Amino acid sequence: MQVLGRGASCKLGQSASLRAMPIAHLALPSPLRHGFDYRLPAGVHELPPGVRVRAPFGRREVIGWLLHEAAESDVPAAKMRAVLEIIDSEPALNAELWQLALWAARYYQHPIGDALTQMVPALIRQGEPLRATLESCWRLTARGLALSEDGLSRAPKQLAALQLLSAHPQGLSETTCRALQIAREALKALSEKGLAECFQPEHAAKAPTPAWPALGLAQAELRLNAEQAVAFDALRKAEDGFRVWLLQGVTGSGKTEVYLQHIAQVLRSGRQVLVLVPEIGLTPQTVARFQARFRCPVLALHSGLSDRERMQVWRQAREGLAGIVIGTRSAVFTPLARPGLIVIDEEHDLSFKQQEGFRYHGRDVAIRRAQLENIPIVLGSATPSLETLANVHAGRYQRLELKLRAGGAKAPLVRCVDLRGQILTDGLCTAAREAMTETLARGEQVLVFLNRRGFAPVMLCHACGWQAGCDRCDAKPTLHRAPMRLQCHHCGSERPPPMHCPDCGSSDLRPAGVGTERLADALSQHFANTPVYRVDRDSTRRKGSFDVLMNAIAKPEAAVLVGTQMLAKGHHFPNVTLVVIPNCDGGLFSADFRGPERLAQQLVQVSGRAGRAEKPGRVLIQTHQPDHPLLQQLFSQGYDACAQTLLNERQLMGLPPAASMALLRAEAPQDSAPQELLSDVAHWLREDEPLVQAWGPMPAPMARKAGMHRWHLLLKTTERKPLHLALSRVVAWLEASPEARRVRWSIDIDPQELS
Ligand code: ADP
Ligand code: ZN
Ligand code: ZN
């Protein structure tokens, strides 16, 4: 193997002769789904797949990845360009992650170069070294090692630092010290007392790695209740190796405590843990809960990190310096030197699916990764997806259940309120208002869940019925009050609301319908002495504002919380004893076949926010369909029964998870081109691929968005394989076809939203 000194990458390509030259098959950041052949200089051979290279591409220079070396190529030798530089002496991704990348690109029909590019931090794809340069380290001196703990009993921070360092006689790097939250002043103070010293390791192999087993826990574990103990024992006693667990437990049943105790086991064996949470779940509170328990570095990959910080977390994980990595969807690709466990919290959450570009599902990629790394993976949820439940029924995943709330809290009481014939004020009926008044009078909190931000979803003319529309979408812009504007939530365009109706000239323009802004305004007037907190994307846009709201809500005082799904996930609000859902009917009649599943999940998740041990919660759901079978079954028999009914329906209709599905989308500024393109594909499939059912082409549910005309072709098979074979041919045809160039097309495997 060609070995290059670390950091000492070499410039190549000028002196090489053309003959007997090895060929490199490269993945380059390009929308094309094939590799590219380049010359390697003579003498360079047996490079490991996955090293980064710099190569000319068109008129640019790009960084790509070596897929493999090749003996020959279709590209004539005279036309073949040369690799400019081999950046790495080792692959950026280990063998398992490399396999994962190849698998994901194939499975999701995505260009491998682009998939790889999205798997690594921005600075790594721009060519920064894989490893950090050597840093200074800290260790105890002989005096420090000999000191008894009483010697520092009045300086707790120094004592904590001393304890951590004494568990690591070879020392800890500065980055690891920071990740372990060892105060810099404490290290300085120890060094002034001659108890610790800073030193420079001679080379990378001598750099110390922390050993988790020696560190112990920073916080005592809770005593598990009977159900938790059964789940924990099952995880603990399982044989090593790949296995998928579903930890199904209602909100507040203590799933996180089970993860934490199982994670402690894995860390004790010296291995690392990857925790994936939904976008809304990755809050400082979540990270703090993990950091409080463990003494190993717990690193979070959140959106507030700079590119450099992101790369540092990636490097630390890759070198085995991070004990736990917590992140959202894309963290699934974080390399781990010694992987031991993957945990996915709220596995049913839609944010695990990337909805554009590389449309992977973080949960499904994580399961494939666990299989390749041969480690267990735990999926946690109160409302598992139908896909996961089908795998449990098929015996592929093993289910562990927590049916009771930890600490003795009771399940909330749910009541549907029949809206038919009722008078509504700002979307709330009298019964809901009365229940709110009672709850607030007791000094407790009310959560009103309304998944529609802004002031009002429509602005209309009271004289002639005109409604404001978006110029670029088949959608109505939402009226926002602060600041006053009409904003389209689909294309983002904004404009001031008109003063007069463009059709009849009347100035009687009115907001219609209720959004969170309007509801929060109305409730602050109605409950004048009670704070009303609005939690949605608009009210939490400023950095840190979400935490400010959460702290205010944590006070045990009467308050009203008005919020979108941001309030429905991740957080438990112990002071909320009443949840009001003003309208759930949209989900009952959704055009998307997943609509009822999502509604059931959402209702259970929101309901789970209410109540605690001494104060049971209540949930009021306003609906015009109180007799709807879904609502009836959900509240009389629970989520599992409801999920089973939905699974049976999917089976009958031949829909996922009882079938495999892919969605081919096409859009263009002119209406005819996408439709014609998809018609050609559909026609060809019907002739040549009898196992594939093609539905469409049909206009997308929003047929025009951001000025583009959008069409769908839905593909379905009973077995997965024929679908993938057919899609490979469709893609090859689309890439070669001149008609396809006039259209923006994309393929979505296992689509989660048919929008
Ligand atoms: P989940 O992740 O299922 O929503 P958590 O693990 O967050 O549940 O637990 C909910 C609450 O119950 C937390 O406040 C937690 O501290 C508490 N809790 C969890 N397990 C126990 C236990 N065994 N004994 C007492 N309290 C517990
Ligand atoms: Zn008008
Ligand atoms: Zn728009």
Residue with tokens 């800073």: 198
Q: How far apart are CA 573 and CA 550, in angstroms?
A: 9
DSSP letter at 497 equals P
Q: Which uninterrupted H or E stretch holds 392? A: helix 386-393
Looking at all shown ligands, the one closest to residue 223's CA atom is 1
DSSP letter at 568 equals T
Looking at all shown ligands, the one closest to residue 508's CA atom is 2
Helix (H, G, I), strand (E, B) or coil at 415: strand
pLDDT of residue 13: 41
pLDDT of residue 302: 87
Query: What digits encode the pLDDT tens for the residues 39-60?
Result: 987 777 788 999 999 999 999 9
Ligand 1 pocket residue status of 225, Cβ below 6 Å: yes
pLDDT of residue 31: 86
**One-letter amino acid of 267:** L
Q: What percent of the chain has pLDDT over 90?
A: 62
pLDDT of residue 129: 92
Of 472, 502, 500, nearest to 488 (Cα)? 472
Nearest CA to ligand 1 atom 12: 406
Residue with tokens 């859902």: 581
CA distances, 425 to each of 115, 428, 450, 478, 733 (Å): 50, 5, 15, 20, 57
Question: For the CA atoms of 163, 165, 169, 175, what is the dihedral angle to 10 degrees?
Answer: 150
Residue with tokens 């070596």: 66
Cis? peptide before 284, omega within 30° of 0? no
Ligand 1 pocket residue status of 345, Cβ below 6 Å: no
Nearest CA to ligand 1 atom 5: 254
What is the number of the ligand 1 atom nearest to the C-alpha of 402? Answer: 3
The secondary structure of 13-61, three-state, reads CCCCCCCCCCEEEEECCCCCCCCEEEECCCCCCCCCCCCEEEEEECCEE
Ligand 1 pocket residue status of 504, Cβ below 6 Å: no
Ligand 1 pocket residue status of 407, Cβ below 6 Å: yes
Ligand 1 pocket residue status of 602, Cβ below 6 Å: no
CA 314 to chain centroid, in Å, comes to 17
What is the number of the ligand 1 atom nearest to the C-alpha of 249? Answer: 3
Ligand 1 pocket residue status of 255, Cβ below 6 Å: yes
pLDDT of residue 470: 94
Q: How far apart are CA 602 and CA 474, in angstroms?
A: 27
Question: For the CA atoms of 250, 254, 256, 261, what is the dihedral angle to 10 degrees?
Answer: -140
Ligand 1 pocket residue status of 254, Cβ below 6 Å: yes
Nearest CA to ligand 1 atom 15: 254
What is the number of the ligand 1 atom nearest to the C-alpha of 382? Answer: 3
- Contacts of residue 52, defined as CB under 8 A and 6 or more positions apart, other chains included, come to 63, 64, 65, 66, 86, 87, 88, 92, 127
Q: Which uninterrupted H or E stretch holds 260? A: helix 255-268
Q: Which uninterrupted H or E stretch holds 604? A: helix 595-607
CA 43 to chain centroid, in Å, comes to 44
Ligand 1 pocket, mutate which of 225, 232, 256, 381 (most atoms under 8 A from CB): 256
Q: Could you give the angle at which helices 720-736 and 672-688 cross, rounded to 10 degrees?
A: 130
- Contacts of residue 183, defined as CB under 8 A and 6 or more positions apart, other chains included, come to 157, 161
Query: What digits encode the pLDDT tens for the residues 430-482?
Result: 999 999 999 999 999 999 999 899 999 999 999 999 999 999 999 999 999 98
Q: Which residues of the chain have pLDDT under 70?
A: 1-20, 149, 203-211, 213-215, 408-409, 569-570, 612-614
384 C-alpha to center of ligand 1: Å? Answer: 19
CA distances, 657 to each of 109, 273, 589, 594, 650 (Å): 20, 29, 21, 11, 7
377 forms beta bridges with 244, 342
Cis? peptide before 697, omega within 30° of 0? yes
Q: Could you give the angle at which helices 629-637 and 639-653 cross, rounded to 10 degrees?
A: 140
247 C-alpha to center of ligand 1: Å? Answer: 14
**One-letter amino acid of 482:** A
Spell 96-112 as b/e; 16+ CB within 10 A means b.
bbbbbbbbbbebbbbbb
Residue with tokens 């007069």: 500
Ligand 1 pocket residue status of 406, Cβ below 6 Å: yes
Query: What digits encode the pLDDT tens for the residues 554-588?
Result: 888 999 999 888 877 667 787 899 999 998 887 78
Of 605, 625, 609, 629, nearest to 617 (Cα)? 609
CA distances, 387 to each of 394, 562, 695, 750 (Å): 11, 32, 22, 10
298 forms beta bridges with 324
Ligand 1 pocket, mutate which of 257, 381, 400, 606 (most atoms under 8 A from CB): 257
Q: How far apart are CA 629 and CA 165, in angstroms?
A: 61
Q: Could you give the angle at which helices 362-373 and 95-107 cross, rounded to 10 degrees?
A: 140
Q: Which uninterrupted H or E stretch holds 447? A: strand 445-449
Of 631, 130, 659, 625, nearest to 387 (Cα)? 659
Reading the block at residue 110, the tokens are 């995505």
Ligand 1 pocket residue status of 224, Cβ below 6 Å: yes
Residue with tokens 């009926």: 429
- The angle subtended at Cα 457 by Cα 454 and Cα 463, nearest 5°, is 125
pLDDT of residue 303: 81
256 C-alpha to center of ligand 1: Å? Answer: 7
Q: In what order do the strands lie in the sheet with 172-173?
A: 172-173, 137-140, 196-199
485 forms beta bridges with 480
Q: How far apart are the first and last CA of the chain?
A: 49
**One-letter amino acid of 224:** L
- Decide: 215 and 295 in contact? Cβ < 8 Å: yes
Strands (E) in 642-683, as ranges, are 660-668
Residue with tokens 């259209």: 743
Reading the block at residue 292, the tokens are 């409080």
- What is the DSSP secondary-structure string of 531-582? -EEEESTTTT-STTHHHHHHHHHHSSS-EEEEESGGGTSS---TTEEEEEES
